């Protein structure tokens, strides 16, 4: 009878170790999947940031070209915008 109880105790220990290994493997899989998702998000964010940086650079160039082509209109527009902003900030 003691032989049977020692086998069931040993089987229980093996089952516990097997369960631990499965949990470790699952945790590693989850960690790897999370790391891959983070890499994909980072790469996508970098791509979007690069696109916006290019667009902003283009808009800046267009604004500079407009100011060079229309200096009087640009200065009067800037003065008007500054006046309106000043009025809004006073209130």
Q: What is the pLDDT of residues 41-89, one digit of tens each?
A: 999 999 999 999 999 999 999 999 999 999 999 999 999 999 999 999 9
Rounded to whole angstroms, how far apart are CA atoms 57 and 44? 20
pLDDT at 9 (0 to 100) = 58
Confidence of residue 11 (pLDDT cuts 50, 70, 90): confident
Q: Residue 70 gets which letter from DSSP?
A: -
pLDDT at 2 (0 to 100) = 46
pTM for this model (two decimals):
0.50
Query: Packing angle between helix 71-90 and helix 2-69, nearest 10 degrees?
Result: 120
């Amino acid at each position: 009878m003691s032989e049977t109880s020692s086998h069931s105790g040993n089987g229980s220990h093996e089952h516990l170790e097997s369960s631990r290994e499965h949990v470790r493997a699952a945790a590693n899989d989850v960690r790897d999947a999370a790391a891959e998702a983070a890499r994909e998000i980072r790469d996508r964010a970098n791509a979007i940031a690069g696109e916006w940086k290019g667009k902003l650079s283009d808009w800046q160039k267009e604004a500079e070209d407009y100011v060079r082509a229309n200096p009087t209109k640009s200065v009067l527009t800037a003065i008007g915008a500054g006046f309106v902003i000043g009025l809004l900030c006073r209130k």
